Amino acid sequence: MAHLLAIAASPAGPAHSFMIGEALQAAATTLGHTLVLQVRSSLGETGQYADDDLRRAAALIVVADDGEEFPDLPAGRVLRLQPQAVLDDAESALRQALATLGHAADPAPAVTQDRAHRVQAKTATNAQPGTAPAAARPLRIVAITACPTGVAHTFMAAEALEQGAQALGHAIKVETQGSVGAQNTLDAGDIAQADLVVIAADTQVDKARFEGKRLYSTSTKAAIRDAGALIQTADAQASVWGLAAAATSSAPGEAVRADAGSKAPRTGPYKHLMTGVSFMLPFVVAGGLLIALAFALGGIYVYDDANAGTLGWTLFQVGAKHAFTLMVPALAGYIAFSIADRPGIAPGMVGGLLANTLGAGFLGGIVAGFVAGYAVHLLNRHIRLPRTLEGLKPVLILPLLGTAIVGLLMFFVLGKPVAFAMAGLTDWLKGMQTSSAVLLGITLGAMMAFDLGGPVNKAAYVFSTTLIASGVATPMAAAMGAGMVPPLGIALACWIFRSRFSNEEREASKAAAVLGLAFITEGAIPFVARDPLRVIPACMIGAAVTGGLCMMAGIALQAPHGGIFVLAIPNAVNHVVLYAGAILAGTVVTALALGAFKKRLVSG
């Protein structure tokens, strides 16, 4: 019997990776070997191995794309296999591994200090707080968590950081910047006493108050996945913010790490877009619900001048003519803010307002935001002033030049082509036949359930919310209904198919049901993490059913969030009973699919 270690990381996606992992486990059991397996995918790392597993392993098997590197494994002992070869015949793949490496398996070289550091952190986070090894030097940590919608990921990351710090023996205070504002706010005393600042955010966070402190930025997903390892990495790689960093920073608000070899946090277009969306959402919510209330009070023609001065007409003016008018400027302004910090806000918002004026809509706002942000970013890098005049850059020079550049480009270069594309998209969506609408609903529904709050989910959500201001509200109904289905379907399955779930899962399903009703798709994440190969497809099937039914029935939703609770607001949804029925249908389909996919648990 041989002791094997395998890593499955298929480029085809998470489902493929878990299928490979299951095939390897089954083959190892059949051949009488023990296998330590780790699956790496966009959902994170599932399964862990320790230094002893590396030393004892007769073969280190990596099933991944040829271009992917694994620096934490000793290169001389690794056998790379193609994913398709393992899926075709996993037993032969294991035999080949033993034949190739088993006879010459020298004692493994000492594991690098970095790898040992990470394994220790993983072990610490999995331990109970009272039994974790004591930290080498206890730290005072302050942290901020924030996500685009300010709901689930914000608080999940905060809880994970608190548990990870406690397990490592550190003191921590976490400020959450959620949809209801900052909670557990860090005061000047907290920051002054802090040894380390950790920012786990998927949107832009103002770091000005942390000047002179050691700071490390990352994503909420990294904190949720392994907070203990994140804290140790932050301690090792954090750099002083605003002092040494300021001399070499290429843009205002851009952190520069002291360790040049460290991995920078993600600051690409996706994060900039999500920052814009997070600031745009309150305008969409307020405007959409005010329009719905106006229709409820004054009827479908409340906006006619004949109704001028009435409460319904006034609410319509506030919602449609003013709140919605600010939606695109807010989107553009805070995309630019994410890229270029505060000097980017004015150029971005002006560009967004021009996008409205020129008929370019949200597409124009996105273009204007990125143009403004990167224009100000480049200006800041290349304009050099005497130290005595540096204060003029953020308040005068950068906003002035940035606004002029984005304004001229929108008028003479970008505005008309983007407006033409926006008009074509709007006309296509409004004129879709039933079959095309159903296909769009199925696609949006499946995307909402694919990664449960990840990039694919957010892409479908952003597409739907930004269309509300253009008078196309049916995709929003499909997206929100489909996003409610995964946690609701799982909760129903735990009640109907009790033998497929543990007592712990059945208890957790109660919370998942509440989260689902509130349109917090992330309520399904704990169940997906335990059995992604079965749970994700079941959720996608049910969500696709809901999305397709919503589009088939022409259900339109004026509010981009709120879950089941917006149904009580008059005219927020045009077909309330049909909408509830579509959500119920998707929930039932998900539950039935889970009952079919999952196996009965072996008692005792």
CB 47 within 8 A of CB 9: no
73: tokens are 């494994």
417: tokens are 């082509």
The string of DSSP letters for 64-114 reads E-TT---TTS-GGGEEEE-HHHHHH-HHHHHHHHHHHHGGG-PPPPPPPHH
Q: How many CA atoms within 13 Å lie on the side-chain side of 283?
A: 20
List 147, 494, 539, 550, catalytic entry = 147
| Distance set, CA 83 to CA 74, 79, 401, 451 (Å) | 21, 13, 52, 22
CA separation for the pair 322, 316 (Å, rounded): 9
15: tokens are 């489902």
Nearest to 218 by CA among 189, 246, 229, 458: 229
Our answer to whether residue 494 is catalytic in this structure is no
Nearest to 372 by CA among 361, 364, 383: 364
Q: Output phi, psi for 172, to 5 deg.
A: -145, 145
CA separation for the pair 515, 520 (Å, rounded): 5
Is residue 99 exposed (0-12), middle (13-18) or buried (19+ Cβ within 10 Å)?
exposed
CA separation for the pair 490, 60 (Å, rounded): 36
Q: Output phi, psi for 216, to 5 deg.
A: -135, 130
3-class SS string, 168-229: HCCEEEEEEEECCEEECCCCHHHHHHCCEEEEEECCCCCCHHHCCCEEEEECHHHHHHCHHH
CB 363 within 8 A of CB 421: yes
CB 20 within 8 A of CB 63: yes
Integer-rounded Cα radius of gyration of the chain: 26
240's enclosing H/E stretch is strand 239-240
Active site residues: 147
